[in-house]
Structure 1
Amino acid sequence: MLNIQNVSQDLSVAGQTTSEQLPQAASKHVIQPDIWKKLRGGFFLVLGYLLSPLCWWNDLLFNLPIAYGFGYMCSLFSPKLLIPCSIIGYWLSNVVGIILMQLGSVDVFQNEHKERNLKKELFTGLVSSTVFTLVIILLIQFKILDTPVLFSNT
C-alpha cells in the first residue's frame, strides 16, 4: 500500500514537472513560426503598398507595366481590347495592392491567433478597394481633385 502511494506521488510530481516544462518548450516553437508569419505579412504589406494607389510613384515602375502587359495579353484575342483591358489591368493591380496590404497587415499587427476566412478577407478587400475607387471617381467628378488633361484635342 505504501508503494502505491509513493508511485502515485512520483507520478503526480512528474506530471507537474512536465506540465511546467511544456509551456517553455511550446513558447520556443511558437516564436519561430510567428516570426515567419510576421515576415510574410511584412512582405505582403510592402508589395501591396507598392501596387496600391497609396504609393504616389508606383505607377511608372509597377502598375503601368502590369496594366500594359494585361492589355497586351488581351489584345492577342482582339486588337481593340488593348486600351480597355489596360485600364482594367491598372484597376486590378491597384485592387490587388490594397488586398495584399490588408492581408499583410493582419499578419503583422494581429497578435492573437484565430482562424482566417479567406473568402471573407478577399470580399472585404474587394469591397474596400471598390469603395476607394468610387470615392476617387466622385472626387474627380465634383472637381475636388484635379486631373491632368490626357486626351485633349488642342
Structure 2
Amino acid sequence: MIMPARLQQPSRRLIWALLAVVGYILSPLSWWNDVFVNIPIAVATAWLLNTLLGVDQLVGFYIGYMASNILGLYLLALGVSGTVARKIDRKTLAKMMVMGALYTLVAALILGRLGLL
C-alpha cells in the first residue's frame, strides 16, 4: 500500500533517529558502552578473525574495538543528519566517515599515550 508523503516523513525520521541511538550506543561518547557493548564486540571479532584468518587475538581485539567505535560515530552522525536533513549526499557521507575515523585515531593515540589503551 502506498502511503501519502506526509505520513512517510515521520516514519523515516524515526528510522534515522533509531540509527542515531544505535550509533550513540556504539560510539565512545557513551561512558558505559565499553563494558556492555564494545568489548564484547571486540572479543567476538578477535575470536572470529583468529578462527578464520589466524590473526593474533590482541590485534583482532583492537580491530574490533576500533571498528565498533568508528561505526558508532558514523551511525550517530548519519542518524542525526538524516533526522534533520531532507537528503544526504555521498560527499557528506564520505566526510562523516573521514571525520569519524580521524576522531577515533586521535582518541586512540591520546589514550595510548596515557597508557589507557
Asked if TM exceeds 0.5, the reply is yes
**What 5-or-longer segments of structure 2 have no aligned partner?**
none
Q: Is the 8 A contact 1:43 1:104 kept in 2?
A: yes
* Correspondence for 2:103: 132
Give the CA deviation at 1:140. 4.3
Aligned length: 114
1:91-131, CA deviations, whole angstroms, 9 ceiling, x for partnerless residues? 00001101111111112122xx34x334x344222211122
Post-superposition shift, 1:138? 4.8
> Take 2:111 and 2:37, find their aligned partners in 1: how far apart are those partners?
23
CA distance in 1, matches of 2:76, 2:27: 8
Q: Percent identity?
A: 30
> Structure 1: how far apart are the matches of 2:11 and 2:33?
27
CA RMSD of aligned residues (A): 2.3
Matched, 1:59 2:31: no
Contact 1:103 1:121 in 2 (8 A): no
> CA offsets, 1:51-90, max 9 Å, x none?
0000010011110111111110011132x52110110110
1:123 alignment partner in structure 2: 94
Q: Which residue of the partner structure matches residue 6 of structure 1?
A: none
The offset of 1:135, in angstroms, is 2.8
Q: Please, what TM-score do these two structures have when normalized by structure 1?
A: 0.65
Larger Rg: 1
Contact 2:69 2:104 in 1 (8 A): no
Structure with greater contact order relative to length (CA < 8 Å, sep ≥ 6): 2
Work out the CA distance in 1 between the residues paired with 2:7 and 2:81.
Answer: 18
Q: Aligned equivalents of 2:50 and 2:111: distance in 1?
A: 29
User: Where does structure 1 lack aligned partners over 5 or more consecutive residues?
Assistant: 1-27
Q: TM-score normalized by structure 2?
A: 0.83
1:39 and 2:39 matched: no
